[in-house]
Amino acid sequence: MAMLTKELSAFLPCYNEAQNLPQTVKNVLTNLKRVAEKYELIIVNDGSKDDTRQVAEKLAAKDDSIRIVNHPINRGYGAAFKSGLYAAKYAWISFIDADGQFDFSEIDQFITTQQKTGADLVIGYYRKRQVPFFRKLNSFAWQMVVFLLFGLRVRDIDCGFKLISKKVVDSIAKLESERGAFISSEFLIKAKKKGYRIVEIPATHYPRLKGEGTGAKLNVIIKSFIDLFRLWKKLS
């Protein structure tokens, strides 16, 4: 079977995902080998307090297509996202959350959608998001604020499965968000401002089986809104 794409970098932002990492890495590598002629997998360990770093190093020792980026201290999802994005070397870049809530075999649909539409970014939206109701409410409120301030209308800003052209990463202004969950919004706002084409497709979301998410913590939410209004002030 012919490969779907020539080059693909994938990265996994990780914080305390030692339990989920082996299975997620296996899932991503299996599908990278299937769809891309040249590929790499970057594991970004964001100062995990569990054994994430040791698990990542064991996995990398067995496969030379795996690279690790280590943050000595926990800097937040935004920082992990940026490290993965900037470390990627191939023409197309994808990522999923390391928590096992996505199936990377769906990358086929992202690649074929990009090839059919000529999109610069193909971004997922949840078919059915497997999180508590208040998380869904938070996301809805967040998206409304982003739309009102920046005119960015997408079905799901923060879905953790995207396919991005490296030219987008290389051409937009340096991303600033670190601690909060604003990074995805900042990236899409800047890409839209540059005139890049964004296409959306559904992605399946599975329940988290192990570990704990950090996106709903109050300090993360507050920091996200601070970053949001800072960017609005800068661009207005």
Model confidence pLDDT, tens digit, residues 84-118:
999 999 999 999 999 988 999 999 999 999 999 99
Provide the number of structural domains found in the chain. Answer: 1
Q: pLDDT class for 173, splitting at 50, 70, 90?
A: confident
What is residue 208's predicted lDDT score, i.e. its pLDDT?
60
> What's the pLDDT at 215?
47
- Work out the percent of the chain whose per-residue pLDDT is above 90: 62
Segments forming the whole domain that contains residue 82: 5-235
pLDDT tens sequence across 22-39: 999 999 999 999 999 999
Structure tokens at 197: 């084409």
If one compares 2 and 199, the residue with the highest pLDDT of the two is: 199
d(CA 53, CA 40): 18
Whether this model's pTM surpasses 0.85 = yes
Query: Helical H runs in 88-165?
Result: 107-117, 133-150
- Whole-angstrom CA distances from 41 to 9, 24, 132, 207 are 6, 11, 30, 23
- Indicate the helix (H) or strand (E) that contains 126: strand 121-126
pLDDT of 59 above 90:
yes
Here the CATH number for the domain that contains residue 67 is 3.90.550.10
Q: What is the mean pLDDT of residues 141-161?
A: 85
